[in-house]
Structure 1
Amino acid sequence: MCQEGLLIALAIENLSYRNFETEWKKLDLATKKELALEGLYRGACLCPRDNSRVNCPELTIKNLVGDSNYNLINLLKRIMEHDPTGNRRVKELYIFRHPYVDHEFGIPDDSSDLVKAYIHEHHLLRTYCIVETLMGVLEAYHDVPMAPPIPVKVASRVRHGEEAEERTAAERKALEENKKSPFPIDQSQCEEMAAISYNACRTCYAKTNRKDLKRCGRCQNVWYCSPECQKKDWPEHKKFCGKKTFDFVPLAPAPPDEFIGCPAAVPDFIRTPALWRQISYLSEPDSQFTDYHFDAQPGHTDSIMISYPPGARLIFLVARRRAMASGSLPAIYQMLSILEFEEDLGVRNFTHARYRRQFEMEYAIKITPEGRRAAGKFDQPTQQELKEEEQFLRQRWASVDNHPKRRPRPQTF
């Protein structure tokens, strides 16, 4: 769910705020194929199970760069429609659908709970593979370096008893259905993706021999290297330990990122995806000395800290708080005035147009001289607001005192 939220935010940034769709169509076919191949490679490296792509008929180079319903642009639009808020947290997991997959992994009503769980796992793994591949194509397009792939460490699962026999029977049944299917499966492109797996503790994933692992005494389904690891994993494992029925309920999604002092939105104000993105950036540990972020390139920003005129920082933060809470036009124009004042002093090499464009995206407004005059006067911050923002600043600084990326603490407001 976290990865889907990130992909939706990235898709909105490219399709709604940039001209990615037009630029993609202008690319020559060879370039698009290279980008699709790079995305497939990144997806294969980052997926929990490296052969998940065999169940993803969408993920072929021909499909991704072509004009079908399953090309790159249409897949991105499909997941954007699932959650257009773009706040990087989806409330419900989106499962990609395809006729071939529905045929192969249809679940009869009389199936056992173990078979249902086994089939649902395939849906989850293929969705994860699609999400990582789409993100990989977008990142490759923008020349974002790929993180080093991490070897897959698979915790051992039960291999004996009735449950193991039922699991094996389900796997054999699925393989037989694949053989009888009229839909061809091309596994040739997956041959190089051999899994790097080994026996490991469920909690710490430390590589070890099977004889050194101990099973959970209650369910016999998970293995640990020590009692300490078992105790550490128990709050999560107890949700499933000993259960014999399958009833898929997604885990509750994490709340959207909110920095210390982030205001709650008033009932009638709906934050745009761009504003959620700003809030997300300000919530990062290395942004706790930052007052605002401005787009530099996809996934990267230039951060600023208000310095002039003296005392303007707290006023800017009060205006930021009001704007993020209600979309207050006077507050937006107050922030803009402070930024333009600094720019005119030569504090940084931004432009007024860059500031305006950012606020237009985040607050879904059009900034014009007429609009600035019509917005009305900005009510000066109260002493209570100034004290609260000063306290929020100190709390943000304190939250990252020991963070490796921390900057020197500012001495003035």
Structure 2
Amino acid sequence: RIERKFGIFSKLDACSFVANVYDDGNLVSIVTDCSPHATHVAGIAAAFHPEEPVLNGVAPGAQLISCRIGDTRLGSMETGTGLVRALIAAVEHKCDLINMSYGEPALLPDYGRFIDIVNEVVDKHRIIFISSAGNNGPALNTVGAPGGTSSSIIGIGAYVSPAMAAGAHCVVQPPSEGMEYTWSSRGPTADGDLGVSISAPGGAVAPVPTWTLQSRMLMNGTSMSSPSACGGVALLVSAMKAEGIPVSPYTVRKAIENTASSISDAPEEKLTTGHGLLQVDRAYEYARQAKKLPLVSYRISISQVGKSIPKLRGIYLRGSNSCQQTSEWTVQLNPKFHDDASNLEQLVPFEECLQLHSTDSSVINIPEYILLTNNGRSFNIVVNPVNISSGLHYYEVYGMDCRAPWRGPIFRVPITIIKPIALSGEPPVLSLSKLYFKS
């Protein structure tokens, strides 16, 4: 940590280690990796080979802090203690970004003590948090935690180009166009959120530890797309700092989501790809143009009119009963400033006139305008799925700044409808009678 040195146990094992000293020398912690995973991830983000630049990572000038969260006793699975210690280290060292290529399913989305601390890291300390969306696709509702289920974290899906399919994966007949990997997890979350923010290349030949007895290897997964995106965002943050543009997780997220390149024209593909493929150059131009805008995020909380249900982050209709009638929903929209924002200089003057749009007015009915101030504003959405065809449908309600439409959508309400196929006639019945069993 202080001298930035590492050692190797022996030439036989070729295993590198670092040593940390605590409690005035009374405690020595010897740290090794528990798999090649982290080295590969770090190499994608920031490998630096000045003698052979083709081997560089996305942001070869970046400085890295490696925080081990995996426990060898648990098969390298992360622990709550390890996660919290890593967040503390990121805050203490004033990191600009966090990449977390870890995750698994969770019972409740966007909930728990770790999520509370993540919110503090993002909202108070202004650290941009990027994480893998999960590798459990192509089924719906497969995004993992925390990357695909947490509002403060930018969840990354995995994209594969024709060149990657041919060159890295040795596919005999690569796809003619880029696409999401079939195993990349898909939204929505259980509470209706989109799940995937953007996508990035999800495979790479990158460095691995010396104990593997090879220098590089191919790995794929959203664990690889996350550091690819993180490296791209590191370049964006570096440029913003050089230009004197205020860096905030809120504005950076808006820049990369609103400038991402769409991978598919089908609306429902947003559940797979998010807002599209990361475009660093476009995001940089967006950030330059947004230099003087308030550093604010827009939080939505949704409830169904006439029903007592937990607050949601999107509208998710699934099943025949919910698709046979019109439903009305109340959206509470609140601007969220950083914790150190000035009451008189930032909160009080904040006011935005927003024009509301829906991607399909025949299904989604909304008011036309709202005036948003610091204390928030609510509006209602009427969803009528009665006449739509069976299958998966995805819609959005989004708000545009009337004074600055170039900003693109400044908030989005995701609406997912899965309408089942209606059975004709009586349902099939299987009758079993006069059955005898012998022991």
- The TM-score normalised by the length of structure 1 is 0.23
Which has the larger share of helix? 1
Please identify the structure whose Cα radius of gyration is greater: 1
With normalisation by structure 2, the TM-score equals: 0.22
- Relative contact order higher in (CA < 8 Å, ≥ 6 apart): 1
